[in-house]
Amino acid sequence: MTLDELAIGQEATIVTVGGEKILRRRLLDMGLTPRTKVMIRKVAPLGDPIELRLRGYLLTIRKEDAKQIEVSL
């Protein structure tokens, strides 16, 4: 399952972060690392971007980037 497939309010743990080298590095630098718990907080009216809660802060990412992050419930 990938991060973009989670419902609002659902919590999961990051398993792997994929993507091309630059995208992967950017996601890791924002705190989206394996074994981190994330929760979908909000989704924009048109479905993109999504707002996440992780590590005590809020982060907004594009759905396209969220598809690169594998999570487990």
CB neighbour list of residue 31: distance below 8 Å, 6 or more residues apart: 54, 55, 57, 59
Nearest-angstrom CA–CA distance, 39 and 66: 12
Q: How many CA atoms lie within 13 A of 38 on its CB side?
A: 31
pTM for this prediction: 0.84
Residue type at position 66: A
pLDDT for the residue 22: 92
Nearest-angstrom CA–CA distance, 52 and 7: 11
pLDDT for the residue 19: 82
Q: Which domains does the chain have, with CATH numbers?
A: 3-72 (2.30.30.90)
Residue-wise pLDDT tens for the chain (73 aa)?
999 899 999 999 999 998 889 989 999 999 899 999 999 999 999 888 999 999 899 999 999 999 999 999 8
Q: Which long-range contacts (CB under 8 A, 24 or more apart) does 44-48 make?
A: none
